[in-house]
Chain A
Amino acid sequence: MTEIGQATADTTLHGSSAAIVALRDVNKWYGDFHALRDVNLAVGRGEKVVICGPSGSGKSTMIRCINRLEEHQQGDIIVDGVELVPDFRRIEEVRRQVGMVFQNFNLFPHLTVMENLTLGPILVQEARQDEAEAAAMGLLKRVKIPEQAWKYPGQLSGGQQQRVAIARALMLKPKIMLFDEPTSALDPEMINEVLDVMVELAEEGMTMICVTHEMGFARKVADLVVFMDDGEVVEAAPPERFFSAPENERTKLFLSQILH
C-alpha cells in the first residue's frame, strides 16, 4: 500500500495546483437550511487535513459531498481530476478512489470480517477471491486484528470494528481517505487503538481528510487544521499556529471548550 500517492496528472483547475481534492464556493441546502456556505478547500496529494467544529457546523456534510453521499447544489468539487457536476453519472468510479470511515463503523453485520473486506474488490474490481483474501489478511495484520478475520462484526469490540472499517476502506487501494468522526462512538479506552492505525496510515503518505475532535491527532499529523462553524470555514491554519494563535473569536471559544 505504500505506493499510494503515485503521481498522476496534477489538478490545476482553479489555481489549486497539485490539489487532489478541491472545493470551490460549494453551497448546499437541506430544504431552506443553508448547510454549506461558499466553502473553499484544497487538499494536496499526500497531505492530511483535520476538520473540526461544533456539531451542526457542516463538517460532516462537507466531507460527505466529496464522495457524493450528499449532493451539493452550487460550486465545484474536483476529486482526483474528476469534476462532480450535478447529475454526475459515474460516481462509482470516483468512490473507488475515495475510502470512507464512518462514525458508526457501518460494517455489514450479516457478513464476516473477511467478507466485509473482500466484497468490494470482488464485486467492484472483479478480483479473484484468493487474491482478495490475501490482501484482506495483509490489511488485517496492519490494523493488528488478523485473528478476527472469520468472526462477525457483532462479536468485535467497537475499536476492533472501526479498525476493520478502516481496512475495508483501504481494500480498494484508494488515493484519498475520508474519516467522519471515526472515534466519536468509541469508549475512551479504544480510541487510541484506532488513532494509532490512522497515524500509521498518515505516515505512509495517504491523503487524509478527517473530521475529528482528537486534537492530539491533529497536532501530530495534520498539515492543515480547518475550523468550521455554521456552514462556513471560519479559520484554517497549520496546527502549530491553529492551536497557539487562533485569530477568530469563534475559534478561540471552540478551542477553550474542547481543550481542558
Chain B
Amino acid sequence: MSASISFATPKSTPRRPPPALEAGVLLWLRRNLFSSAYNTVLTVLALWALFVTIPDFIVWAFIEAVWWTDDPQACRDASGACWAVVVEKHRVMLFGTFPYEEHWRGVIAIALIVGMAIASAFKRLWSYWLFVAWLGVTAAVLVLLLGGVFGLTPTGTHQWGGLPLTLLMFVGTVVGGMPLAVFLALGRRSRLPAIKAMCVGFIEIVRGVPLITVLFMASLMFPLFMPEGVTINKFLRAQIGMILFFAAYAAEIVRGGLQAIPRGQYEAADAIGLSYWQKTNRIILPQALRIVLPALMNDIIRAFKNTTFVSIIGLFDVLGATATALEDPLWVLFALEAYTFIFVLYFVFCFSMSKYSEHVERDLSKGRNL
C-alpha cells in the first residue's frame, strides 16, 4: 500500500476584508482606453473624429446660431443654425391644424398625459385606481380636444394635430393594445381549437403586413366595407389600425413570457382551487409580464415612433405638422433645424421610457429569485 500524495491542511483563520482595489485615473485610462495596441488605435481614431466634428458643431449650433428673430433674412445671413424657425413655427409644429386660439386646450391635454405618465411611473401608485385615473384623464383629454361641451368651441378630429395627436394616438395604442395582446396570447395557447385558430390567424396576418398597409386599409378600404351612411372618422380608424398592429406583435412577446412559466406554477394554482381567470390574473400573468418587460418596453417605444406613420394618411402628428410648417417658403431653408428639434423631442420621450424600463426591471427583480 503506497502513501497517498493528496493532503489538506486544517487551519483556522479569522475573517478579514478583501484586499483593496487599485484605483486612479491613469489606471482607469490604461484599462479602458489603452489596454492593447488595437484599443489604442481605436481610441486615437475616436478622439480624432471627435476633434474634427465637435468644434464645428458647437460653432454651428450655438456660437453662430440665430435664436430669436422673425426675419428669415437674418437667418440666411448667419452662418450658424437658425433656431428661430422653431420659435417662429412652434405653434404649428406642436399643434398642427388645431385652431390657433384653442391651443391652450392642447397644452392642457399634453400636460395631463405627460403628468399621468409620470405618476404611473411610481410603483407606490400602482393600483386599480391608477387605471381608473387613466380612464378619467383620457376622457378629459378627449373633451379638451373635441370641445362642444362646457362652452368649448367644437373642434373635430380632422382639426387635431401635433403633439396632442401623437400622444393620444400613442396612449390609445398601448392602453387598447396591451389587453388585446394579452387575450391574443392566452387565446393562442387555448385548448379550444376555434379560439386558438382565430388568434393565430389574426396574429400571423397582421404580422405579415407592414404598418403602412394596415393604415391604408384602415383609411381607404375599410370605409368601402361599411354599410352606406355609416362612417367612422379617420382618427378612430387609424387608432384601431395602430392598436391591432401593436397587439399582434405584443401578443407574441407575451406568449413568450407565458411559455417561460414552469408547469408547477399552473399546478400549484390548480391545487389550491383557483379558477382559470384567478390563476391567470394572479399567478401567471404577473410573472409572465415581468419576464417580458424589456421586450415589451421595446415594442412600446416602437409604438411611440410608429405614430409618425399616420401622417401618410393625412393626420398631422408632430412630424406631419412640422412638414406642413416648413411649407412656408420664407422658412423652408431651415428644415434641418426644425427636424433637429423634432429629433430632440422624440429622443427625450423614447430615452425616458427606455431608462424607466431599465429601472423597473432592476426594481422588480430585487430580493426575488425568479
Contact = CB atoms under 8 A, between A and B. Distances in A.
Interface in A162-214: 168-169, 171-172
Contacts of A110: 286-287, 290, 368, 370
B55 interface: no
Contacts of B270: 67, 69, 95
A110 B365 CA distance: 9
A102 interface: yes
B368 A154 contact: yes
Contacts of B275: 92
User: Which of A93, A108, A120 gathers the greatest number of chain B CB atoms within 10 Å?
Assistant: A108
A253 interface: no
B368 A119 contact: no
Interface stretch (B90-98, B171-179, B260-268, B312-320): B260-268
Contact of A95 (B272, B368, B370): B272
B288 to A, nearest CB: 10
Nearest to A168: B272
A108 B271 CA distance: 13
A155 interface: yes
Nearest to A93: B273
B369 A155 contact: yes
Give the interface SS of chain A, mostly helix, strand, loop or mixed: mixed
Nearest to A119: B282
Given A109-B370, A154-B368, A124 B267 contact: no
A107 B287 CA distance: 12
Given A104-B264, A106-B265, A92 B271 contact: no
B312 to A, nearest CB: 42
B368 A69 contact: no
B10 interface: no
B264 A106 contact: yes
B274 interface: yes
B329 interface: no
A100 interface: yes
Contacts, number: 76
B272 A152 contact: no
A153 interface: yes
B369 A108 contact: no
Nearest to B278: A123
Interface in B349-370: 367-370
B370 A108 contact: no
Contact of A120 (B273, B367, B368, B370): B273
Contact of B273 (A102, A106, A109, A172): A172
Nearest to B268: A106
Interface string B49-93: 000000000000000000000000000000000000000000000
Given A119-B282, A152-B367, A155-B367, A108 B273 contact: no
B268 A124 contact: no
Interface string B230-271: 000000000000000000000000000000001011011111
B110 interface: no
A254 to B, nearest CB: 27
Contacts of A172: 272-273
A99 interface: yes
Interface in B14-63: none
Contacts of B268: 100, 102, 106-108
A172 B264 CA distance: 19
A104 B264 CA distance: 8
B274 A123 contact: yes
Contacts of A69: 267, 270-271
Contacts of B264: 102, 104, 106
Contacts of B272: 95-96, 99, 119-120, 124, 168-169, 171-172
A236 to B, nearest CB: 25
B121 interface: no
Contact of B368 (A102, A106, A152): A152
A106 B264 CA distance: 6
B271 A169 contact: yes
Contacts of B168: none
Given A92-B275, A95-B272, A172-B272, 11 more contacts: A67-B271, A99-B271, A100-B271, A108-B268, A108-B287, A119-B272, A119-B274, A120-B273, A124-B272, A124-B278, A152-B367
Interface of A: 67, 69, 92-93, 95-96, 98-100, 102, 104, 106-110, 119-120, 123-124, 151-155, 168-169, 171-172
24 contacts: A67-B270, A69-B267, A92-B275, A95-B272, A96-B273, A100-B271, A106-B262, A106-B267, A107-B268, A108-B268, A108-B269, A110-B290, A110-B370, A119-B274, A124-B272, A124-B273, A124-B274, A152-B367, A152-B368, A154-B368, A154-B369, A154-B370, A155-B368, A172-B273
